[in-house]
Amino acid sequence: MKIKLKWLIFSIVLLAIALIGAFLPDGSEIGHDPNVSVGDTAWMLTATALVLLMTPGLSFFYGGMVKTKNVISTMLQSFIAMGVVSIVWVVVGFSLAFGDSIGGIVGNPLTFLFFRHVGGATDPVLSPTIPLALFALFQLKFAIITPALITGSFAERVKFSGYLVFMVMFTIFIYAPLAHWTWHPDGFLNKMGVLDFAGGTVVHMSAGFAALAGATVLGQRTSHKQPHRPANIPFVLLGTGMLWFGWFGFNAGSALHASSTAVIAFLNTNTASAAAMLAWVFFDTMKGRKASAVGAAVGAVVGLVAITPAAGFVSVGASLFIGVSASVVSNVAVHWKNKSNLDDALDVFPTHGVGGIIGMILTGVFAKNVGLIHGETSTFFHHLLALVIVGVFTFGGSYLLYKLTSLMIPLRVSPHSEEIGLDLSQHDESYMLNHPEEGDREIQEAIPEEETTFRNKLQNNKRRIRKEKEVAASAE
């Protein structure tokens, strides 16, 4: 059996982490803490689970949009983030994001190394009414979905092993510092007065600009200008429903309390998404296009993205405006992108990037007491400055990380692997074998004559289905 070096290295790193974790002294506090609120803890446990559900939801959302030969690989890119980022977060990610601040730029990596001192006790600064471990877990779910969001930009052409390396570096060098800037009390953006209730900057803008960099570095798919039909639109709708449901934990959970602020964030989240979904459909039909299920799904997600930074800071009327505005602007951005040479496969930047930008700008306009409509200008202009800083940092930093990853492991698959599809070339699995009639034409066009093994599997599967139909017909 031939052992591949890169996978041997991955295995050794994981084993080393496991051994260190096994023998590292436990520094977490266990016992009763009178500051723990039962109600807040119950709500935050629920919210944390809801946010985790968003990542499988995203996998269905993205998986339904790609070609049939790339469904499994695209979905796995989201699922695998739950494993990779969880380990990075426990080892050093949480420390970099929420450890003792080093100049407002990044947390001290030793503060919570291997989750030392992260246990059942509260933290007076980060989690005054819930266990610090619960706060860390809640923040972990945000860290998980951010690199998963990026994958839509380079769908159908990224090498799985290269993506794993990039995801680790992105979490450490981009996501964690950005979370520190924005959400740690001593972070420099936080001290500037930048408002980001639940991740418009930290999650969606960072994912959007990293996606833009990824599409630039990896280049166009070989089939970029060819007509494309989504593999499974019901998957897209299912994923949207899971995202919408999970987003209530994402936004309302960011109150960190079972409180009226959480209720307002919940209300604004639902309202903005509903308004954005309708605005997308109506704008499409007004422009002469058909009302589509995919359009409704994308519009709903754009509304969720846009309200995220503002959810706990604005009125329900403002959430209506934010949802509609972001939907129309993102719709236009998607169609501009489609006319360009940029191959952002699943429109990550026009939806998450642009949606996050609109949300952050309008937070500076509508935020209660400090927004532009209340006669205050400081928050609005600080938000504009933060958008520039975050955009440059996340695009430039991600671009460098893609290049660095490519020096270690090629990020892009070979033309042949791309042609036969990533499901087969990267994972030796195929959604098309379970749906031969859907995938047959795509298979015949994509797979050369030498791929006899796959052809035999396909033919055997078709013969089985034909025989089952004949048996059913004779029984009738």
Mean pLDDT score, 408-416 = 93
Q: How confident is the model at residue 350 (pLDDT cuts 50, 70, 90)?
A: very high
Under the banding of pLDDT at 50, 70 and 90, the label for residue 355 is: very high
pLDDT digits (tens, 9 = 90+) for 121-171: 999 999 999 999 999 999 999 999 999 999 999 999 999 999 999 999 999
Please state, in angstroms and rounded to a whole number, the distance separating the CA atoms of residues 345 and 365. Answer: 32
Q: Which residue has the tokens 């996978």?
A: 7
Tokens of 380: 């609005």
pLDDT at 445 > cutoff 80: no
Is pLDDT at 298 greater than 60 in this prediction? Answer: yes
Res 455: pLDDT: 56
* pTM greater than 0.85 (yes/no): yes
Nearest to 192 by CA among 356, 369, 378, 362: 378
User: What letter does residue 90 receive in the DSSP assignment?
Assistant: I
Average pLDDT, the chain: 91
pLDDT tens-digit series, residues 205-260: 999 999 999 999 999 998 887 778 899 999 999 999 999 999 999 999 999 999 99
Confidence of residue 460 (pLDDT cuts 50, 70, 90): low
**pLDDT confidence tier of residue 33, bands split at 50, 70 and 90:** confident
Backbone angles phi, psi at 346, to 5 degrees: -115, 25
Instruction: Convert 257-270 to b/e letters by CB count within 10 Å (16 or more is b).
Output: bbbebbebbbbbbb
Token pair belonging to 291: 């009302």
Closest CA to 275 of 316, 240, 309, 247: 316
Which backbone phi and psi does 26 adopt, to 5 degrees?
Answer: -80, 120
Question: How much is the pLDDT for 3?
Answer: 76
Mean pLDDT of 48-65: 98
